[in-house]
Amino acid sequence: MSVMTMVKAINNALDIKLKEDSTVVIYGEDVGVEGGVFRVTEGLQKKYGVERVFDSPLAESGIVGTALGMAVSGLRPIVELQFEGFTFPAFNQIASNVSRIQNRSRGKFNVPMVIRFPYGGGINALEHHSDSPEALFAHIPGLKVVIPSTPYDAKGLMIAAIESNDPVIFMEPKRIYRAIKQEVPSEKYSLPLGKAKVIQEGSDVTVVAFGALIRECQKAIAMGEEAGISVELIDLRTIYPIDRETIRKSVRKTGRIVVVAEAHESFSVGSELIAIANEEAFLYLEAPPRRVMGFDTIVPLAQGEHYFIIHPDRIFYEIEKTFKF
Amino acid sequence: MSVMTMVKAINNALDIKLKEDSTVVIYGEDVGVEGGVFRVTEGLQKKYGVERVFDSPLAESGIVGTALGMAVSGLRPIVELQFEGFTFPAFNQIASNVSRIQNRSRGKFNVPMVIRFPYGGGINALEHHSDSPEALFAHIPGLKVVIPSTPYDAKGLMIAAIESNDPVIFMEPKRIYRAIKQEVPSEKYSLPLGKAKVIQEGSDVTVVAFGALIRECQKAIAMGEEAGISVELIDLRTIYPIDRETIRKSVRKTGRIVVVAEAHESFSVGSELIAIANEEAFLYLEAPPRRVMGFDTIVPLAQGEHYFIIHPDRIFYEIEKTFKF
Amino acid sequence: MIQENLPAIFRDFNPLENKMLSLIDNDGEVVNPKYMPSLNDAIVIEAYKQMLYERIADEMAVSYQRQGRMYTYTPNLGQEAIHIAAGMHIREQDWLVPAFREMGTLLAKGVTMKEMFLFYLGNERGGSFQNANHTLPIAISIGTQLHHATGIGYSVKYRKKDEAVFTFIGDGGTSEGDFSEALNFAGVWQVPVVFTIQNNQYAISVPVRSQTKSINLAVKSVAFGIPGIKVDGNDFFAMYLAYQTAAAHALAGNGPVLIEAFTYRLGAHTTSDDPSKYRKKEEENEWGLTDPLLRLKRYMEKKGIFTIDEKKLTEEYKKEITGQFLDAEKNKAYPYDDVFDHMYTDMPDELKRQKAEYEEFLNWKENRR
Amino acid sequence: MIQENLPAIFRDFNPLENKMLSLIDNDGEVVNPKYMPSLNDAIVIEAYKQMLYERIADEMAVSYQRQGRMYTYTPNLGQEAIHIAAGMHIREQDWLVPAFREMGTLLAKGVTMKEMFLFYLGNERGGSFQNANHTLPIAISIGTQLHHATGIGYSVKYRKKDEAVFTFIGDGGTSEGDFSEALNFAGVWQVPVVFTIQNNQYAISVPVRSQTKSINLAVKSVAFGIPGIKVDGNDFFAMYLAYQTAAAHALAGNGPVLIEAFTYRLGAHTTSDDPSKYRKKEEENEWGLTDPLLRLKRYMEKKGIFTIDEKKLTEEYKKEITGQFLDAEKNKAYPYDDVFDHMYTDMPDELKRQKAEYEEFLNWKENRR
Ligand SMILES: Cc1ncc(C[n+]2csc(CCOP(=O)(O)OP(=O)(O)O)c2C)c(N)n1
Ligand SMILES: Cc1ncc(C[n+]2csc(CCOP(=O)(O)OP(=O)(O)O)c2C)c(N)n1
Ligand SMILES: [Mg+2]
Ligand SMILES: [Mg+2]
């Protein structure tokens, strides 16, 4: 056990897998000497050498496309894309090949690779550095999309992602890279992909969130408790495949669902969860399912970002509205 | 008035705009001499010259990125991407620039451009030639996403798209490129972007669809009529901005909604419409909203495609289930 | 240009001087004896047979498509010398990362015509090339495959395997960003990849002069610091020498190589295409004179080694290929499970649910009849 | 190499021979009198002043960031000769399509330091460069901007305007597919675009030798059939000559040009970066000797035209820039409407609804206090 930030916990997961499996390699922009702009790969090149942890040329399509080549020929590449906004040059490789080679080859080739990148707002960054594109990846069949909300989860999910024989998009909520510190076991463990976690049980309203917003929800829930509202908080953990069962159980119990996420609300994880709540618990619904999400606008730069970011009071406001409906 | 296929109607719209506005240019792969692989631009190079209608090098990012440059400097480019599967090399230009330059420049630059491409299944094609990626574009703020379902609509919507000062993704349902023939006025007219159309009024169930599936829905509705079910059919026409008002009115009337679309069901237009139905008509809902959509799988090649494609009997089956709920 | 250990042909046929490696002319006459590889007759005969096989299979595929028994097909006509010369240098353990117009090379790797037919009949089982070792499926999204080849090259180098990687792209494909990125990565990583541009002069209707202003396509290698050479793609011997040299170079650890195979698509782009819309009959005729089979045959005849009974062989091949087509046609059925089974190594609950719901519908449909 | 009407410098400093155009040395001594442009003293003095202004503004920006008064900033230190030489050739009607490290060029185009500060204070109004004619916002997604420049080039050519387009990218950016695609399109379309690679030796921590195996970056032009030249980016006169020649070439209708400006990022990548992690002090010191301001100053001193009271000017500049910063700081407020107002030319109902809902929440919040 030692106290870790999410950065450290992911670094630890990578370290463990690099150590025990010589087919694991890590590359991307500045992941070598520099250890990544957020230092997630710090120290790994020194420990495992430049053939296993290295800087690539500056080209995301190349990073992802070559990783696919490695994955079908015996390696388990983990690639870092520097920010969520720079996943798009690789979008064609992801949507046309990474997600499809297994199906195209009828299982002759598996694609055990991880594409990891920081995402989300709240760090007063430049454009393309504050976005939440999870829905875009979740809509592409053949991918798994994972988002941790704590250092503990990040380590366990990352180990599972590396060991998955299917390609995993691993999105790291950069806002809480260092904001949360937690006791994390030093040894290897993994958490199942595709399973949500009930963080807190409750009876009045189901709140579903993931990543950095779990913390904000917890603050809102504390406000709710004061107001006498019992909230069940679910951390989705995996965006695809989504854990219907956990949603079903909870919404059938509470009859109310509020989805909290930072992405643009239209055609989002929020939309999907509302659809699921309807399909799985229609007769139990006692209030309109709500989305507390980003606007359909570009995330504003630092001076305007506070309008866009989801704060606890806004979450509480929507929980209360839903509760009182 | 003359009888036109959708191919002809779009060609006619392009012709009209090329003629009346010298800032309109058209380019893409094989759109010149060849007139496009589906002949949508047939004859236009001959009529307007190689400076206005021309073949570009084979690079989608380049096609879209250069069009953006033209759009901010006084032209109205219309670019063709050859198939929906080949929009992804251009995804970065679309998501990082086309949709954003207006906001980034606080309105100093507008982006009057149209990106058009055929999409959807049902033509026994190779991989990447049968997909329906509308949700991916609709989730990106700053774009308009338009899909016509008839030759008449295609012409009117295309004229509006070209005249829009915002970038428009114009998706053409290739399955009905030539399958529907219709009287279309020869003169110029346009249909408003962002407005759905109630194709048929009804009182029991609202069916929302668009593109090639309108036809399939109509067949299903005929089956429903025999079974005594009165269906209201809405053609979305524009996927973003979505027409909430039309959905609200209809669902408040019928209390039931079935969404029919060919895309993978998770994180789709179906999810969004169910969310909207809940937000706008929760207290009116009498049955769980349903999605009749593609699986979360790659669209199978020709021999397996019939499992994936949405047939009228499956639509009817879901309408009836929803009606009887 | 950069490397000291560069084989002589890269210097003697420097693409910067717009030179092209060609060894025999249209009449089968040796024009460049210095570089003519000394192949024993059996190999030359074998090469001709393989080219003939590819041509016949290709013609038959076009005709099955015309009969409405197969979906859109992509002909290989005129590009056989490239495919067979490459095939002769790709060993069992070497990797083949195809584009979509190198059928002969796929066949050399162990792909069967039954599989090819099955693919064009619309069944992924055909396109998966189950029995061809280290062979990727066809790449439809142009350019993307080059990155896969470069990545495999890294993997091979990292695991210290005696394996080379062969990959293909068209002249049009060189305009895609992925082409440049992949060659650049390969240069930096110094991986054993042989890149071939099949410059067949057209990307569907677009001629290569509308694709780029570079003096040829081989010269693009300069931008990535890797050796490049332009080769007469309709000259079997030139292509043979190019692959022999490139494979040796790559396997010796000297890094990647770019080959521009200068050829012509004698047929249509696909069976849905009509070349008369965008090119002249005269042009096609002129290129017809450089037909790789004709050239090789004339060479062999001159040398007195054309011992093949072509008519008989053609009949044999036709019969065998017909058998494969019928087999494919008989076995094209698409079990419902195939839609879902290969999306993930473990099927997620979401897919199980979708499958189950669809089965309910199928049951309803069944009962309704 | 290809064009007949190619200006002599492209032949004399052929990147294929790895030559670099350099006119004065580190001591300000003229080393290549043949090509030395004969500028009148006022222009040289003006250039020095502009470089000084950029340097001071840059230092102040770094220090405001350090004081916590501004967000992450991207320094320009050491690259001023490129920016000012370019700025001196971009006319009012010419287009500037920037990357993100050419502040001096933006200033030349009419962008104010207030706007720059406002942008780095986190307000799009700053980055929109409202008053700079034909100037695009900064491009963060690396490489994408080159396509915009090529497209503008097409537009200019199509509309027969007397306008050239200037665009920038870093050494790291040359690895992106968009770099190659854009140069290729520009070559085919023969548009009046001057592409500059600012090769400052690093892409964040990654040295250029890990970026590509090509012998230099200018040589990449060969792949697209356009003229390219490698220029000493810390030599104002070399850069001046390069832009003069390139702009004339482009405006005469002779098509695009690629300039590799060989320079060094003397500062950090951004204010969040610590270069000591990835490069040695000695290397920085060595490059420090080539500082473009020092070099130009020495030249001017030798020629006896350094009539500037640098200390006084520095004070003046500092005062003026401080004023601009304070103005920006005072006006950084972000009206709520700005979030929504520029997404579309007409705000769609969806956005109106989202805005209204959020306003309801704001009301609730207000009342709750
Ligand atoms: C990314 C992408 N864009 C467009 C297409 C559509 N397309 C299929 S083949 C082709 C032309 C290819 O030309 P070339 O690269 O010269 O290869 P050839 O067909 O001549 O063998 C095009 C544009 C595609 N398959 N992939
Ligand atoms: C497409 C994309 N990928 C990654 C980044 C992150 N990033 C910002 S600057 C930079 C390095 C750029 O290096 P170079 O092109 O040499 O320009 P320089 O910063 O040296 O001026 C990187 C990787 C980005 N902005 N865009
Ligand atoms: Mg071709
Ligand atoms: Mg750099």
C179 CB less than 6 Å from ligand 1?
Answer: no
Q: How far is the alpha carbon of A41 from chain B, nearest alpha carbon, in Å? A: 26
> D35: closest CA among D292, D237, D218, D298?
D237
D171 CB less than 6 Å from ligand 2?
Answer: yes
pLDDT-based confidence at residue D2 (cuts at 50, 70, 90): low
Residues B218 and B268 in one domain: yes
CA distances from D94 to D179, D194, D236, D281 (A): 21, 11, 21, 40
The reported pLDDT for the residue numbered D1 is: 45
Q: Does any domain span residue A191?
A: no
Are D188 and C214 within 8 A, CB to CB?
no
Q: Could you say which of A152, A184, A216 is where a domain stops?
A: A184
Range of the structural domain that residue A148 is part of: 2-184
In the chain, the amino acid numbered C166 is F
The reported pLDDT for the residue numbered B145 is: 98
> B205: closest CA among B125, B268, B285?
B285
Chain B residues close to C127, C-beta within 8 Å = 301
Q: A: neighbours with 3+ CB pairs under 8 Å?
A: B, C, D
Residues B230 and B86 in one domain: no
> C265: closest CA among C80, C86, C79, C74?
C79
Residues of B marked as catalytic: 129
> D102: closest CA among D68, D44, D70, D149?
D149
Question: How confident is the model over D19-51, as pLDDT tens digits?
Answer: 999 999 999 999 999 999 999 999 999 999 999
Enter the CATH code of domain C3-334: 3.40.50.970
C79 CB less than 6 Å from ligand 1?
Answer: no
Write down the catalytic residue from C158, C278, C334, C344: C278
Tokens in use for A142? 């053949």
Tokens in use for D239? 């850069």
pLDDT-based confidence at residue C2 (cuts at 50, 70, 90): low
The helix/strand/coil state of B272 is helix
Are C185 and A166 within 8 A, CB to CB?
no
Mutation probe of ligand 1 site: the residue of B29, B31, B37, B58 with most atoms within 8 A of C-beta: B58
Chain D residues close to C212, C-beta within 8 Å = 184, 187-188, 224-225
Residues B113 and B254 in one domain: no
Residue of D nearest to A313 (CA): D365
Cα D18-D20-D25 angle, rounded to 5 deg: 140
- Distance from C-alpha of B231 to C-alpha of B222, rounded to nearest angstrom: 9
The reported pLDDT for the residue numbered A291 is: 97
- Distance from C-alpha of C75 to C-alpha of C91, rounded to nearest angstrom: 25
Q: How far is the CA of C265 from the centre of ligand 1 (A)?
A: 13
Residue of A nearest to D349 (CA): A296
Which residues have C-beta within 8 Å of that of residue C203, sequence separation ≥ 6? B29, B30, B58, C170, C171, C172, C173, C211
Q: Could you say which of B134, B151, B184 is where a domain stops?
A: B184
Q: How far is the alpha carbon of C91 from chain D, nearest alpha carbon, in Å? A: 28
Is-contact B24 B53, C-beta < 8 A? no
- pLDDT averaged per 10 residues in sequence order, chain B, 325 residues: 96 98 98 97 98 98 98 98 98 98 98 98 97 98 98 98 98 98 97 98 98 98 96 98 98 98 98 98 98 98 97 98 97
B111 touches chain D (CB under 8 A): no
The reported pLDDT for the residue numbered B169 is: 98
Q: Does any domain span residue B189?
A: no
Q: How far is the CA of C171 from the centre of ligand 1 (A)?
A: 9
Q: Does any domain span residue A153?
A: yes
Question: How confident is the model over D180-219, as pLDDT tens digits?
Answer: 999 999 999 999 999 999 999 999 999 999 999 999 999 9
Residues B101 and B14 in one domain: yes
Q: How far is the CA of B175 from the centre of ligand 1 (A)?
A: 21
Chain D residues close to A33, C-beta within 8 Å = 205, 277-278
B58 CB less than 6 Å from ligand 1?
Answer: yes
Cα D209-D215-D221 angle, rounded to 5 deg: 115
A208 touches chain C (CB under 8 A): no
D5: pLDDT strictly greater than 90? no
Residue of A nearest to B61 (CA): A89
Chain C residues close to B88, C-beta within 8 Å = 141
Residue of B nearest to C118 (CA): B303
Residues A130 and A237 in one domain: no
Q: Residue A226 sits in a domain of what CATH number? A: 3.40.50.920
Residues A212 and A75 in one domain: no
Is-contact C231 C242, C-beta < 8 A? yes
Strands A24-28, A76-80: pairing kind: parallel
User: Whose alpha carbon is nearest atom 6 of ligand 1?
Assistant: B82
SS3 content of chain A, % helix, strand, coil (to 5): 40, 20, 40
On average, the pLDDT of chain D sits at 97
Q: How far is the CA of C198 from the centre of ligand 3 (A)?
A: 7
Beta bridge partners of B171: B117
Chain B residues close to A100, C-beta within 8 Å = 127, 298
Those of residues 78-107 in B touching chain D at CB distance below 8 A are: 92-93, 96-97, 101-107
Residues B85 and B212 in one domain: no
Residues of A marked as catalytic: 129
- Distance from C-alpha of B251 to C-alpha of B236, rounded to nearest angstrom: 14
Residues B219 and B173 in one domain: no
Is-contact B148 B6, C-beta < 8 A? yes
Chain D residues close to A59, C-beta within 8 Å = 175-177
Is-contact C22 C31, C-beta < 8 A? yes
Q: Does any domain span residue B101?
A: yes
C266 CB less than 6 Å from ligand 1?
Answer: no
Residues B259 and B280 in one domain: yes
Q: How far is the alpha carbon of B16 from chain A, nearest alpha carbon, in Å? A: 33
A57 touches chain D (CB under 8 A): yes
Mutation probe of ligand 2 site: the residue of D72, D204, D210, D212 with most atoms within 8 A of C-beta: D204
Tokens in use for B21? 């506005």
Strands A231-235, A197-200: pairing kind: antiparallel
What total number of domains does chain A contain? 2
Residues B99 and B125 in one domain: yes
Question: How confident is the model over C190-245, as pLDDT tens digits?
Answer: 999 999 999 999 999 999 999 999 999 999 999 999 999 999 999 999 999 999 99
Which letter, b or e, does each residue of C198-218 get, where b requires 16 or more Cβ atoms within 10 Å of its Cβ?
bbbbbbbbbbbebbbbbbbbb
Q: What is the mean pLDDT of residues A208-225?
A: 97
Tokens in use for A258? 């509020």
CA distances from A266 to B40, B140, C124, C126 (A): 31, 9, 34, 39
Residue of A nearest to C351 (CA): A241
C68: pLDDT strictly greater than 90? yes
In the chain, the amino acid numbered D268 is A
Q: Residue B62 sits in a domain of what CATH number? A: 3.40.50.970
Inter-chain contacts counted by CB atoms under 8 A, chains B and D: 140
The reported pLDDT for the residue numbered C3 is: 63
Q: What is the mean pLDDT of residues A170-190?
A: 98
C37: pLDDT strictly greater than 70? yes
Residues B220 and B301 in one domain: yes
The reported pLDDT for the residue numbered C1 is: 45
Inter-chain contacts counted by CB atoms under 8 A, chains C and D: 87
DSSP A236-255: --EEES--HHHHHHHHHHHS
Those of residues 160-189 in B touching chain D at CB distance below 8 A are: 164-166
pTM of the model: 0.98
Is-contact C246 C41, C-beta < 8 A? no
The closest-lying atom of ligand 1 relative to the alpha carbon of residue C204 is 11
- Distance from C-alpha of C210 to C-alpha of B266, rounded to nearest angstrom: 41
C33 touches chain B (CB under 8 A): no
pLDDT-based confidence at residue D359 (cuts at 50, 70, 90): very high
Are B96 and A288 within 8 A, CB to CB?
no
B29 CB less than 6 Å from ligand 1?
Answer: yes
Q: Could you say which of B184, B206, B235 is where a domain stops?
A: B184
Those of residues 270-299 in B touching chain C at CB distance below 8 A are: 295-298
Are A141 and B85 within 8 A, CB to CB?
no
On average, the pLDDT of chain A sits at 98
Q: What is the mean pLDDT of residues D340-363?
A: 97
Residue B13 CB coordination number (10 Å):
25
Chain B residues close to C175, C-beta within 8 Å = 57-59, 62
B202 touches chain C (CB under 8 A): no
Mutation probe of ligand 1 site: the residue of C142, C266, C279 with most atoms within 8 A of C-beta: C142
Beta bridge partners of D206: D203
CB nearest to B61's CB, from D130, D178, D342 = D178
Residues A51 and A87 in one domain: yes
Can you say whether the dihedral through the CA atoms of B109, B114, B120, B125 is positive or negative? Answer: negative
